[in-house]
Amino acid sequence: MSYLVLARKWRPQTFHDLIGQEHVTLTLKNAIESGRVAHAFLFTGARGVGKTSSARILAKTLNCEKGPTTEPCNECPVCREITEGNSVDVFEIDGASNNGVDEIRELRDNVKYLPAHSRYKIFIIDEVHMLSNSAFNALLKTLEEPPPHIKFIFATTEPHKVPITILSRCQRFDFKRIPLAKMIARLRFILDQEKVSMSDTALTMVARKGDGSMRDSLSALDQVLAFCGEEVDDPAVISLLGVVDRTLLLSAINAILARDTAPLMNIVKTVDDSGYNIRQFCRELIDLMRTQLLIKTVGSTTDLLDLSDKELEESTALAEKSDLQTIQRCISILLKTDAEMAHSSFTRLLLEMAMIKMATLAPVIPVHELIERLKALESSPRQPSVAAEPASPGYKPAARKAPETHITPAAPPEAPPQTRDWQGFVAFVKTRKPMLATKLEKGSPIKVSEGTLHIGYPKDTLEFSMLQEPDYQKQLGDLSESFFGHPVSIKILHLSGSNGDTPLSIAEKKNADASKRESAVKDAADSHPLVKAALEVFGGEVVAYR
pLDDT, tens digit (0-9, with 9 covering 90-100), for 507-519 = 888 888 888 888 8
Backbone CA torsion sign across 206, 317, 354, 333: positive
pLDDT of residue 408: 42
Q: How far apart are CA 257 and CA 264, in angstroms?
A: 11
pLDDT of residue 497: 62
pLDDT of residue 473: 85
When mean pLDDT is compared across 37-46, 165-174, 454-463, the lowest value belongs to 454-463
> What is the per-residue pLDDT across 471-512, written as a single tens digit (0 to 9) for each?
888 888 888 888 888 888 888 888 876 556 778 888 888 888
When mean pLDDT is compared across 209-223, 285-299, 329-343, 444-458, the lowest value belongs to 444-458
pLDDT of residue 500: 60
Q: Which residue has the higher pLDDT, 420 or 461?
A: 461
Q: Place 3 in a pLDDT band, splitting at 50, 70 and 90.
A: confident
In 3D, which of 63, 65, 55, 53 has the Cα closest to residue 17?
53
Q: For residue 335, is pLDDT > 90?
A: yes
Mean pLDDT, rounded, for 413-420 = 50
Mean pLDDT, rounded, for 246-260 = 88
Q: How far apart are CA 234 and CA 238, in angstroms?
A: 6
Q: For residue 404, is pLDDT > 60?
A: no
CB of 507 closer than 8 Å to CB of 441: yes
pLDDT of residue 350: 92
Residues 6+ apart with CB under 8 A from 176: 20, 21, 23, 45, 49, 212
Highest average pLDDT, of 277-291, 368-382, 413-427, 467-481, comes from 277-291
When mean pLDDT is compared across 37-41, 203-207, 348-352, 536-540, the lowest value belongs to 536-540
Q: For residue 42, is pLDDT > 90?
A: yes
When mean pLDDT is compared across 241-245, 388-392, 522-526, the lowest value belongs to 388-392
Q: Place 391 in a pLDDT band, splitting at 50, 70 and 90.
A: very low
Q: For residue 139, is pLDDT > 50?
A: yes
Q: Place 339 in a pLDDT band, splitting at 50, 70 and 90.
A: very high
Domains in the chain, CATH or no CATH each: 6-174 (3.40.50.300), 180-241 (1.10.8.60), 273-359 (no CATH), 422-509 (3.30.300.180)
In this structure, the number of other CB atoms found within 10 A of the CB of residue 369 comes to 10
Q: How far apart are CA 473 and CA 465, in angstroms?
A: 11
Task: Give the number of C-alpha atoms closer than 13 A to the C-alpha of residue 182, restricted to the C-beta side.
Answer: 16
